[in-house]
């Protein structure tokens, strides 16, 4: 019997990834076959530029049910980009 472990939760809160780091993480998430259900991205200094990468990950992972983006620097622009991605998936 072959056993496969699938990551369902990715917690990288408070790691100061900034936009460059978040782009790398979100690209990996988008390319992964893991059925992620939650991504914790709080306290990572994500700006509207980084929000585009988060939106890409959201658009490619219909299994996502929760994304924690609290205490980032998204501003209204970033929030709009992310909400549009959520609307497309939902």
- Whole domain around residue 44: which residue ranges? 9-89
Per residue in 65-77, pLDDT (tens digit) is: 999 999 999 999 9
Domain annotation covers residue 2: no
Q: What is the pLDDT of residue 7?
A: 75
Domain annotation covers residue 3: no
How far apart, in Å, are the Cα atoms of 46 and each of 3, 4, 26? 36, 32, 12
Per residue in 11-57, pLDDT (tens digit) is: 999 999 999 999 999 999 999 988 899 999 999 999 999 999 999 99
Domain annotation covers residue 1: no
Domain annotation covers residue 4: no
Q: What is the CATH number of the domain that holds 61?
A: 3.80.10.10
What is the pTM (predicted TM-score) of this model? 0.86
Q: Sort strands 38-40 and 9-11 into parallel, antiparallel or unpaired.
A: parallel
Domain annotation covers residue 77: yes
Domain count across the chain: 1
Domain annotation covers residue 22: yes
């Amino acid at each position: 019997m072959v056993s496969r472990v699938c990551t369902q939760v990715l917690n990288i809160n408070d790691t100061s990834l900034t936009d460059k780091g978040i782009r790398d993480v979100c690209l990996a998430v988008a390319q992964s076959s893991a059925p992620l259900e939650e991504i914790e991205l709080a306290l990572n200094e994500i700006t509207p530029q980084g929000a585009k990468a988060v939106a890409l990950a959201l658009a490619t992972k219909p299994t996502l049910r929760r994304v924690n983006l609290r205490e980032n620097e998204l501003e209204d622009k970033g929030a709009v980009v992310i909400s549009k991605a959520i609307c497309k998936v939902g």
